[in-house]
Amino acid sequence: MANNLLQGKRGIIFGAMDEDSLAWKIALKVIEEGGDLVLTNAPVIKRFGSLEKLAESVGKKIIYADATSVEELDHLITESQEILGGKLDFVLHAIGMSVNVRKKKEYTDLNYDWMQKTFDVSAISFHKLMQCLYKADAMNEWGSIVALTYIAAQRTFPDYSEMAESKSLLESFARSFGYHFAAKKVRVNTISQSPTITTAGSGIKGFDEFFNYADKMSPLGNASSEACADYTVSLFSDLTRMVTMQNLYHDGGFSNMGMNPAILGM
């Protein structure tokens, strides 16, 4: 049931690709709660996703931008404010990509050029985005910036490869830039989400086993994409004005478990 938590608020959602994307679920929840938004993703998504149809279905604009390009981010931020009619209240960074993972390179035999690309797309883009927002003074007071992450930043999941280090860097950027954004009364947080069935996530080696293991280990089970959308909206809302520089686990309790008898079939 909608509560108009985001009535009158506007922002940018990065990373929606198709109807299974976490970013798309979050966009739908933002709209349901009264928010207005612009969608963005890399131009290459035109070939692989269905973002055009999704945007048309809710009557929202898409501005394609390479999140690793400061120039394109600057243009995105300026044009989004023009479309939405003012400064931004929320921004979602839901971007992650590893060529090494896609090409099934083992962690002990990584291509370092691809690794640098992973870091740029999945983590450094977050700093670039925040720096562009900061310099443009594009966020309203009590605005909220959120990025999606995963517990592999703290614990070892071998098949997650160098995406683990990328998420660690992402979370560090949230803390460090969160300090500077606090002077503008803007919050910066990361959400550490359960393994979630998405087009991107399903491409990870052994994902089904990975998903099922987490579901059994978590006392509440894996958090769904719809639940993640609810949680993200709460961080965009005025109800969480004093929450910043946090990595917030949204994982059904997985992060605090040592052993669950369910894993042993007990």
- Percent of the chain past pLDDT 90, that is, above it, reads 85
Mean pLDDT confidence for 104-113: 96
Contact 144, 240 (CB under 8 A): yes
Task: List the catalytic residue out of 112, 160, 179, 249.
Answer: 160
Our measurement of the distance from residue 156's CA atom to the centroid of its chain's CA atoms, rounded to an integer in Å, reads: 20
**Catalytic annotation present for 179:** no
**Six-digit token pair at 20?**
């299974």
Asked: is 10-248 a CATH 3.40.50.720 domain? The reply is yes
Span 124-177, pLDDT tens digits? 999 999 999 999 999 999 999 999 999 999 999 888 999 999 999 999 999 999
Beta strands, E only, the chain: 10-14, 36-40, 61-62, 88-93, 139-149, 187-193, 247-250
Question: In this predicted structure, what is the pLDDT of residue 24?
Answer: 97
Span 42-63, pLDDT tens digits? 999 888 768 999 999 999 999 9
Domain boundaries, the chain: 10-248
**Six-digit token pair at 111?**
């291509």
User: Residue 208: which region, alpha, beta or left (left: phi > 0; alpha: psi -120 to 50)?
Assistant: alpha
167 is in an annotated binding site: yes
Please give the Cα distance from 58 to 51 (Å, whole number).
Answer: 11
**Does pLDDT of 198 surpass 90?**
no
**Does pLDDT of 266 surpass 60?**
no
Mean pLDDT confidence for 17-23: 94
Question: In this predicted structure, what is the pLDDT of residue 255?
Answer: 95
124 is in an annotated binding site: no
205 is in an annotated binding site: no
**Does pLDDT of 1 surpass 80?**
no
**Catalytic annotation present for 134:** no
Mean pLDDT confidence for 74-103: 97
Contact 35, 236 (CB under 8 A): yes
Span 27-38, pLDDT tens digits? 999 999 999 999
pTM of the model: 0.95
Task: List the catalytic residue out of 64, 150, 213, 249.
Answer: 150
